[in-house]
Amino acid sequence: QVHLVESGGDLVKPGGSLRLSCAASGFIFNDYYMNWIRQAPGKGLEWVSYISSSGSTTYYRDSVKGRFTISRDNTENSVYLQMSSLRAEDTAVYYCARENSAWSDAFDIWGQGTTVIVSS
Amino acid sequence: SYELTQPSSVSVSPGQTARITCSGDVLAKKYTRWFQQKPGQAPVLVIYKDSERPSRIPARFFGSSSGTTATLSIRGAQVEDEAVYYCYSAADSNLRVFGGGTKLTVL
């Protein structure tokens, strides 16, 4: 079974840091690009960051550039999101999602999400 | 930046065809994907490459695209299809956008 399991979400104060993890299983992890996508309470989906299969290429949405860092460990079948200088507007459920190049780069597998709350 | 525009809500009776549109200039050049999200659950891919359907998705889900508008149609909509539907496209590797979402009500 193909699975993605996120962890690391927590309540953190504004300006604080947090590291999210996403563990993959059931597929050849280093064959796939990976993404983080978030959803603020009661709001829509928002793409956050992308990492290539080797980890050599990364992209971010403008609002998190310089504050968030995506990385991956292909030996551990995991992708990470290091978040710093957190703001209230970063409060959201964070999903990791597999990007399938055979399906025109669609996000074909999603984790269940992990919740980040930024509040004093 | 660019945007994808969806209606906030669509309502149909069971058995009717539900149509959800997604509009944006990028759709004239790039593929649209559609996701279904039920309350408290992660999104699920229902359509990719404008009109392709993953094998696990029922055949009543149909995608199409023309010019700057993509459409998700659910033929013979069922109560279990009630959800929020999001379109998505990528103008570039670092320009990836979801539509605002459409709440589908089947009653």
Structure confidence by residue, pLDDT tens digits, A68-112: 999 999 999 999 999 999 999 999 999 999 999 888 889 999 999
Cα(A46)–Cα(A26) distance, rounded to whole angstroms? 26
What distance in Å separates residue B95's CA from the closest CA in chain A?
Answer: 8
The residues facing A71 across adjacent strands are A80
**Residue A95's closest chain B neighbor by CA?**
B42
Cα(A72)–Cα(A20) distance, rounded to whole angstroms? 11
Q: Tell me the per-residue pLDDT of B4-16, one tens digit each, with 9 for 90 and over.
A: 999 999 999 999 9
Q: Please tell me if residue A52 touches chain B, with a CB cutoff of 8 Å.
A: no
**Residue B1's closest chain A neighbor by CA?**
A62
Q: Please tell me if residue A33 touches chain B, with a CB cutoff of 8 Å.
A: no
What distance in Å separates residue B13's CA from the closest CA in chain A?
Answer: 25
Is A50 close to B99, i.e. CB distance below 8 A? no
Residue A108: C-alpha distances to residues A28, B18, B97 (Å):
14, 23, 16
Calculate the dihedral angle through the C-alpha atoms of A27, B34, A66, A63, rounding to the nearest 10 degrees: -160
**Which of A115, A92, A7, A112 is CA-nearest to residue A41?**
A92
Better-predicted residue by pLDDT, A104 or A21 = A21
